[in-house]
Amino acid sequence: MRILNQIPAAFPWIVSIAALFSLYHPPIFTWFSGQWITLGLGGIMLGMGLTLQTGDFRRITQTPKWVLTGLFLQFTVMPFMGWLLARAFQLPPFFSVGLILVSCCPGGTASNVIVFLSRSNLALSVSMTALSTMVAIVMTPLLTSSLSGNEIQVDAMGLFYSTLKVVLVPVVLGILLNAKLPKYTFKIKRYAPSVAVILITLIVASIIGQGKTIILGSGFALILSIMTLHLIGFVLGYFLSKVLLKDEGVSRTISVEVGMQNSGLGVVLAKENFVNPAVAIPAAISSLVHSLYGSIFVALFRMRTKKASEKSDAE
């Protein structure tokens, strides 16, 4: 059980190794496909719901400026940059829509893990993830269909119903179970982050394995655009919130929430609403990229915390 609890901290390594194995020999992970991917994301969202309490949502009313600033940056910086980079890198239509789709997704459970490890504001991270997930039911389909233009016909209502099904239902179910059966959920929810990492890894590795030929054949521009997208998300999320809110811990948290998207949701929405399987590939690569960036930011943030602590002790 102790090993299971160590899994979230090793998330970037686990997803990276799985992705490489999937590129080398896709059948290792491609069996996890079809409804398994939808069920996997449902499991992740249920786990998120189990870790939430009504008190988490009360925090939103206690620090509305923090949460609303983060939410605003989440659904403006990333969608705009996704649209801009898709054009700057002249991505094919299916990659372009996939990049825009993942840039319009909310924060995911991985961001909570990164915030925890970087010793930032975990309560704010949980609140932002929960609120952005709920807002995404409307905003993700709306932004994706608006920004995609004439690239590919986007079914906004289809995206809306898919988001409703794989986000709202399992999250609300998890919150209700946590409220009504706390003794049982207490034993389960401590393993939720580890299970989420395993399920995200299976989803990402499966999509990468299925798209091996496309990725190796024309994926360089796509990978570079995704790396740029998340780097800008982390950097702008930090500096803009620092200017607006003037709080180091809050700025770090918003940086992570803006820079890390719920890529698993992007994969499922792409699989359920687009015929071309390549639309899901940007979301799969995104999960790998933002996880690696997240681990780098953990090291940087912890280093700054240590230096600040040493300086304070010296004074």
Number of separate domains in the chain: 1
pLDDT, residue 100, reads 92
Burial class of residue 187 in the structure, from the number of CB atoms within 10 Å of its CB (0-12 exposed, 13-18 middle, 19+ buried): exposed
- Whether 10 maps to a domain, the answer reads no
Q: Considering the domain boundaries, does residue 157 fall inside one?
A: yes
- Kindly report the CATH number assigned to the domain that includes residue 58: 1.20.1530.20
Query: How far apart are the C-alpha atoms of 181 and 191, rounded to whole Å?
Result: 16
For 34, the enclosing helix (H) or strand (E) is none
Its domain, for residue 78, covers 28-309
3-state DSSP percent of the chain in helix, strand and coil, to 5: 85, 0, 15
Give the pLDDT score at 84: 94
Q: Is 3 exposed, middle or buried (0-12, 13-18, 19+ CB in 10 A)?
A: exposed
Summarize pLDDT for 247-265 with one digit per residue, the tens: 888 888 899 899 988 887 8
Residue 14 lies in a domain: no
In this predicted structure, which of 153-157, 296-300, 305-309 has the lowest mean pLDDT?
Answer: 305-309
Whether the per-residue pLDDT at 313 is higher than 70: the answer is no
Residue 287: the pLDDT is: 78
The answer to the question of residue 205 being in a domain is yes
User: What number is the average pLDDT over the span 76-96?
Assistant: 91
Whether residue 15 is contained in a domain is answered as no
**Does 184 fall in a domain?**
yes
In-domain check, residue 219 = yes
Residue 144 domain-assigned? yes
pTM (2 decimals)?
Answer: 0.78
